[in-house]
């Protein structure tokens, strides 16, 4: 049975990414427009919208337990208070011990159920293997580089029993699997191979049954995969090309918020063939998801 998709928010995003849900009933939905340098929000119930600008390209936003957000500004990350005050955090150069040879930015990030923030980088020119993957402690004091040789660090999530972490490097064309133990990852292996013609795996989330919901850039869809076997179990078709990420929202966590993008810097929307390009969508895939984990000790 086809899954119905509706427009949730019609503000155009050059590179919409990283939706989250928080607040009463998980109804406060937020996302970033990376190249638009803006964080946008909308309430599922009231329809109230909001947004604020950032000084740099912003790869992710995640709500904080103390209020405000943690932002993946290009040279961050930074903490942002509700009044807009910014607080600097450890930088990539501090974690790496050297200066990056190419211009990189933060891309996707997610807080694990046990409180660590996992976050990755990519090169602006999409050079393969220039990015890295990091872990920031819940108190924001320690940033560790876990591994390099990353193309475009993208979606991630954890199994309900917190023994596995799923991870996407878009240019590797796969969903990979790690063993997970109290913030430590090991034993990386390929879990789902993305075949030619499917598009590029981008952001993702998992539901309460450990099924993975993966957005596909240049694929016009979100696909569901069984988290134990890797077998495809669902496909949510969307009326635009570049699907970037998704998260569950709503009191029952049965609404899937899906972000999309016009494209990279300089790309113009094809409003003839895809008039809703860059919009944010909502669907009910018939499963129950998991809450967005907030950042902070």
Catalytic residues: 202
What's the angle, vertex CA 41, arms to CA 49 and CA 5, rounded to 5? 95
The answer to whether the bond into 77 is cis (omega within 30° of 0) is yes
For 254, the token pair is 């049965």
Using CB atoms within 10 Å of the CB of residue 264, give its burial: 0 to 12 exposed, 13 to 18 middle, 19+ buried. middle
Left if phi > 0, otherwise alpha if psi is -120 to 50, otherwise beta: which for 37? left
Report CA-CA distances (Å) from 23 to 72, 165, 248.
21, 25, 13
Q: Which of these, 229, 30, 266, lies nearest to 125 by C-alpha position?
A: 266
Task: Mark 88-119 as b/e (b = at least 16 C-beta within 10 Å).
Answer: ebbebeebeeeeeeeebbbbbbbbbeebbbbb
CB 79 within 8 A of CB 296: no
């Amino acid at each position: 049975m086809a899954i119905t998709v509706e427009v949730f928010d019609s503000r155009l995003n050059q590179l919409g990414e990283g939706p989250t849900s928080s607040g009463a009933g998980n109804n406060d939905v937020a996302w970033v427009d990376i190249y638009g340098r803006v964080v946008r929000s909308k309430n599922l119930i009231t329809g109230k919208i909001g947004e604020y600008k950032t000084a740099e390209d912003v790869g992710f936003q995640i709500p904080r337990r103390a209020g405000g957000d943690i932002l993946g500004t290009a040279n961050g990350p930074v903490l942002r208070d509700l009044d807009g005050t910014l607080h600097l955090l450890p930088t990539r150069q501090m974690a790496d011990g050297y200066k990056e040879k190419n211009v990189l930015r933060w891309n996707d990030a997610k807080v694990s159920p046990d409180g660590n923030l996992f976050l990755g980088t990519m090169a602006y020119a999409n050079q393969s293997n220039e990015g890295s993957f990091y872990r920031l402690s819940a108190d924001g004091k320690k940033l560790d580089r876990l591994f390099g040789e990353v193309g475009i660090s993208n979606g991630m999530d954890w199994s309900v029993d917190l023994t596995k972490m799923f991870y996407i490097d878009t240019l590797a064309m796969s969903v990979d699997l790690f063993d997970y133990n109290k913030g430590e990852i090991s034993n990386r292996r390929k879990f789902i191979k993305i075949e030619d013609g499917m598009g590029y795996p981008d952001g993702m989330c998992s539901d309460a049954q450990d099924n993975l919901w993966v957005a596909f850039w240049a694929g016009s869809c979100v696909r569901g995969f069984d988290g134990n076997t890797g077998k495809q179990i669902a496909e949510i078709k969307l009326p635009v090309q570049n699907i970037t990420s998704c998260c569950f929202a709503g009191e029952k966590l049965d609404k899937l918020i899906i972000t999309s993008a016009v494209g990279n810097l300089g790309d113009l929307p094809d409003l003839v063939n895809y008039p809703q390009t860059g919009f944010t969508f909502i669907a009910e895939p018939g499963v129950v998801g998991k809450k967005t984990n907030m950042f902070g000790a």
